[in-house]
Amino acid sequence: MSDTAHRARPQNDPALLPPAIAAAARLADSTLEALLPRPAGRQARVQEAMRYAVMGGGKRLRPFLVLHAARLFAVPESQALRVGAAIECLHTYSLVHDDLPCMDDDDLRRGRPTTHIAFDEMTAVLAGDALLTFAFEILADPATHAHADVRCALIARLAEASGHSGMIGGQVIDMLAPSFIKEGSFGVDDVIELQRKKTGQLFEFSCEAGPILAQAGAEDRARLKAYAEEMGVVFQITDDLLDVTSTPEKTGKAVGKDAGMGKQTLVTLLGLEGARAEARRRAAKAVEALGPHAARAPELSGLPFFLLDRDA
């Protein structure tokens, strides 16, 4: 990178990101390790499966977002980490159920056998259910925030982001997409809307949690939400690019599945170069959305550009 380019966007330096992501992942991991139930009694098997699914590595991108958005508003780290843990439990449940034979039927996740392979289908269904339930249990606990109003706001927003019109809605649209495609009515905007629900809403909640915890104003919350929306598109495009260009060794999961399943993505619709250009455009918009916070949160500003370069 030339000096000029470096000066032009000092806060968008992707080199900042790997150590920052690793540091947040360590914090997220130790929080999850402490919070997740210890296997005990005759129901130990489902608690083992919960831990297996959650503690299987993962980049912990959502806790990273919670942490850095929360720092902008001087939220105590312990609060941000609890919310990050709740989101990670919820995200993991969606992966466990998504991997089931009746859903995407995946054997590999984060480089290890998926939960229904390592245990069995019944245990995977129940462990997913238990992780979803546990996410709300973490948020309802006074340790997450002294004010119950704030805890309820977090719970309401997480339920909305992950429910029938949010993440689950996105999963349903994804599963029905082949029939929409056949009807000839599924273009770029539809793919963006699908992905915003399926993965974007949880990113949005991750970024809004900080301002919610700080009881910040609506403008701040809107900025973080808009950042997350653009960043989510970058994440999704680069994820779809990896499905075309990467290997299972690098991503820790099956690749080439989108083409095999006839899925429509921004990569299939815009082509490799068109999709990359759209991702770059969205990365810039994400930083713009942060407004005055961009310079104060180089980790958030740098993330979309880091995603553009990722190979896993």
What residue ranges bind a second copy (CB under 8 A)? 37, 41-43, 45-47, 50, 93, 97, 100-103, 120-123, 125-126, 128-130, 132-134, 136-137, 139-142, 147-149, 151-152, 155-156, 159-160, 162-165, 168-173, 175-176, 180, 190, 194, 197
In whole angstroms, the minimum distance from the beta carbon of 129 to a second copy comes to 6
In whole angstroms, the minimum distance from the beta carbon of 285 to a second copy comes to 25
In whole angstroms, the minimum distance from the beta carbon of 78 to a second copy comes to 18
d(Cα 304, Cα 150) in Å, to the nearest integer? 29
Query: Closer CB to a second copy, residue 5 or residue 146?
Result: 146
Query: Closer CB to a second copy, residue 55 or residue 132?
Result: 132
DSSP state of 70: H
Query: Closer CB to a second copy, residue 73 or residue 119?
Result: 119
CA dist list (Å): 146 to 31, 123, 149, 151, 273: 19, 35, 9, 8, 49
Residue whose token pair is 């550009």: 305
In whole angstroms, the minimum distance from the beta carbon of 44 to a second copy comes to 9
Query: Closer CB to a second copy, residue 5 or residue 40?
Result: 40
Please name which of 278, 196, 288 lies closest in space to residue 237, comparing C-alpha atoms: 278
In whole angstroms, the minimum distance from the beta carbon of 16 to a second copy comes to 35
CA–CA–CA angle 246, 288, 245 (5° rounding): 5
In whole angstroms, the minimum distance from the beta carbon of 195 to a second copy comes to 13
- Which residue blocks in 36-166 are alpha helix, DSSP H? 44-54, 61-72, 77-98, 115-118, 121-140, 148-162
Query: Closer CB to a second copy, residue 191 or residue 255?
Result: 191
Residue whose token pair is 């993962």: 58
d(Cα 47, Cα 37) in Å, to the nearest integer? 6
Query: Closer CB to a second copy, residue 33 or residue 121?
Result: 121
